[in-house]
Amino acid sequence: MGVFPGFGSWINQNSQQPLKAESKRSENVDSEEDDFKYPDKIYYDLKEEQKQNDLWHEAEKKHPWHNASPKIKVTHENGFYHMNIELTVGLAPEFLYSILIDPGSGTFRDLRKRRNLMENKSRKVLFENGPRQMTRVEKSVACNVFGVYIPISMNLIVDENRKDLMTQYKKEKVRFMKAFEGNYKVEPIFVDKERLCKKRIPMTREEYKKCSGGQGKVASKLTIDQYYQPYSPFNLPPLSWFLRGMTIKTSKSLLAQVQDTSIAVRTAIPMPKETTSNKHEKH
């Protein structure tokens, strides 16, 4: 199974809110119709995001960013597998997060081989409260089985926080899996701090912007923690080895598409200045 259904962890209950299918604070009622629209409200400075896109575009022409391979570690304890992934992406955190949660899942289409690696089959909004939106989704993930991509259906409850740039998920139904849930978060990396911030190492975005004169690029650190427990007999060797390998290969394929998308963004022609007015209000 791949990463990116939306990610949340029952292991870290002290720092994460548990997933629930309903909320007294909900603003939206469970919808009967599919909703593939991206939420209208934004929770960041749109002009600053455009500034970052311009900085990345200009830097890419002179010194292309090196897309590092993901760091993947899988451990097994008490019947549960824990897959931890860290990936550095040459895009601003808000931009990367918006790509990852795009209801259209356009990020996960392999353009070279013309196939979807992951797509939403259905998506229903359960509730929305400020930057949080909870949805019930059915996804199809193309799993890498000995080099052949086989679609696997996953039914999930996904909880996204567009302000904190964090997502959680929990399965309703996933093939082979008795338990399947996790989380991901996107954090800033001040990639130009040594070059532009001589006197003081910045600790916040505001400090970084000030010491770099607004010329410092902000990259993203994507951290994923996925937990799963296969049904019997897939929890026993050799089937468990096969499932573990399939999960890693599928995750690598999805992450490679994230990096390919980041290259496309960095090398794209910048949007004309007159079209980048902040037509959305920051909340």
Question: Which domains does the chain possess?
Answer: 46-269 (3.30.530.20)
Which is nearest to 208 in space by CA: 93, 59, 88?
Answer: 93
Q: What is the pLDDT of residue 272?
A: 56
List, in order, residues 6 or more apart from 91 with CB less than 8 Å away: 56, 99, 219, 220, 262, 265, 266
Question: Smallest Cα–Cα separation from 221: which of 98, 70, 15, 101?
Answer: 70
From CA 38, how far away is CA 23, in angstroms rounded?
A: 21
- Given a contact cutoff of 8 angstroms between Cβ atoms, the answer to whether 8 and 183 are in contact is yes
Which pLDDT score, from 0 to 100, does residue 178 have? 96
- pLDDT reported for residue 106: 58
Report the alpha-carbon distance of residue 218 to residue 208 in Å, rounded: 9
Q: Give pLDDT, residue 280.
A: 47
Q: Tell me, what amino acid is at 196?
A: L
CB 105 within 8 A of CB 89: no
* pLDDT at position 211: 96
Query: To which residue do tokens 């954090």 refer?
Result: 187
Cα 132 to Cα 17, 45, 84, 129, 155: the distances in Å are: 11, 18, 24, 5, 20
Please report the pLDDT score of residue 275 as a whole number. Answer: 41
pLDDT by residue for the chain (283 residues), tens only, comes to: 655 543 333 223 333 344 444 443 455 545 566 787 877 788 889 899 999 999 999 999 999 999 999 999 999 999 999 999 999 999 999 999 999 998 875 568 887 777 889 988 999 999 999 999 999 999 999 998 887 889 999 999 999 999 999 999 999 999 999 999 999 999 999 999 999 998 889 999 999 999 999 999 999 999 999 999 999 999 999 999 999 999 999 999 999 999 999 999 999 876 555 444 344 444 5
Whole-model pTM: value is: 0.83
- pLDDT value, residue 42: 85
Instruction: Determine the Cα–Cα distance for residues 80 and 150; give it in Å rounded to an integer.
Output: 24
Closest CA to 134 of 230, 35, 218: 35
Residue 39's nearest CA partner among 132, 167, 122 is 132
pLDDT recorded at residue 31: 55
Residue 115, pLDDT score: 83
